[in-house]
Amino acid sequence: MTSGQAETIARRTQRSFGYQWTVFGQMAEEFRRDFLNYIHPLSEDFFPGKLGLDAGCGFGRHVYHAAEFGARMVGLDFSKAIVRAAEITAGLPNVRLVQGDIGAPPFRSRSFDFVYSIGVLHHLADPEAGFRALLPLVRPGGVIFIWVYSKSRRVTNAVLEAVRAVTSRLPLAVTRVLSLMGAIADWCGFILPYRLLRRLVGPAVDRYALPRIRVYAQHGFSVVYADWFDRLVAPIRHYYDGEDLAAWAGRAGLADAQISPTGLYGWRLLARVPEATRGGGS
């Protein structure tokens, strides 16, 4: 990929996510549970008294909960979603927001006790480069944790990429309508029937339900709608597995890497930045 192509993707990504989180940037009760799942094996006890960075904070749902758990938080995002994040976190005095690029973060080295990036790096032209750009920001002994899309659903991912080759280039308002249609089909055709059957039959019905339907049954319609828009509009998506993340950690010289899947949909990496790691690794 040329530098010009990467810059074009960055501009399209900035525009699409700025639009997305302005339209769909509403908090939901289940986001707290989702955040704890993304950062496992850490818990809310990890956060009090620490200074952290949410790299790619979007409309602020994760930075909100990290701050709620007691951390002093900085949220970084390069899109206009940062305006919505300011509204979401307005009541939290321990949150600061900065508009900037993950690839060139506007912070001094070793500024943070921890840095995380959830659901963001896989949308960059070079995700590993984005990951390595964050490492110098972590103090020695601090931790970095990330979550990225899984490559395990190879057929589904291939079909989605073929669809996105068209939808990611449509006017955003058109993609929004298509996303609404997809969300309604999911909600009425699968999620509501699953909820009803589970009430009538009990957990036995879980073995027959698609994993994604079981997940979305725990959320409201707005989340289903937003996720349909997300999967159709993003200019680029990369997919990974545990071996890929282990390679990232190894090349960066990180220590105590803990890598685990979140079902079929993603992988998370938690690792410590040792004293010897300077400038994002060797």
When pLDDT is averaged across residues 102-117 and rounded to a whole number, the result is 97
Distances (CA, A) of 117 to 33, 76, 204: 17, 10, 36
Residue 68 tokens read as 């709620």
pLDDT > 70: percent of the chain = 97
User: pLDDT value at position 142?
Assistant: 98
User: pLDDT value at position 276?
Assistant: 61
Stated as kind and residue range, the H or E segment containing 75 is strand 72-77
User: pLDDT value at position 6?
Assistant: 79
Amino acid (one-letter) located at 3: S
Alpha carbon distance 123, 129 (integer Å): 12
Of 138 and 203, the structure prediction assigns the larger pLDDT to 138
Task: Return the domain boundaries, the chain.
Answer: 3-151+237-272, 169-233
3-state secondary structure of 91: coil
When pLDDT is averaged across residues 115-136 and rounded to a whole number, the result is 97
- Assign domain 3-151+237-272 to its CATH superfamily: Vaccinia Virus protein VP39 (3.40.50.150)
3-state secondary structure of 53: strand
97: left (phi over 0), alpha (psi -120 to 50) or beta: beta
When pLDDT is averaged across residues 256-262 and rounded to a whole number, the result is 97
Residue 194 tokens read as 């699953």
When pLDDT is averaged across residues 53-64 and rounded to a whole number, the result is 98
> Mean pLDDT score of the chain, rounded to an integer?
94
When pLDDT is averaged across residues 73-90 and rounded to a whole number, the result is 97
- Would you place residue 275 in the very low, low, confident or very high pLDDT band (cuts 50, 70, 90)? confident
- Give the model confidence (pLDDT) of 209-224 as tens digits: 988 999 999 999 999 9
At residue 279, does pLDDT exceed 60? Answer: no
- Would you place residue 5 in the very low, low, confident or very high pLDDT band (cuts 50, 70, 90)? confident
- Measured from the Cβ of residue 173, the count of other Cβ atoms closer than 10 Å reads 9
At residue 278, does pLDDT exceed 50? Answer: no
Of 11 and 71, the structure prediction assigns the larger pLDDT to 71
Exposed, middle or buried: residue 273 (CB in 10 Å: 0-12, 13-18, 19+)? buried
- What is the pTM for the complete model shown? 0.91
When pLDDT is averaged across residues 7-17 and rounded to a whole number, the result is 88
User: pLDDT value at position 9?
Assistant: 85
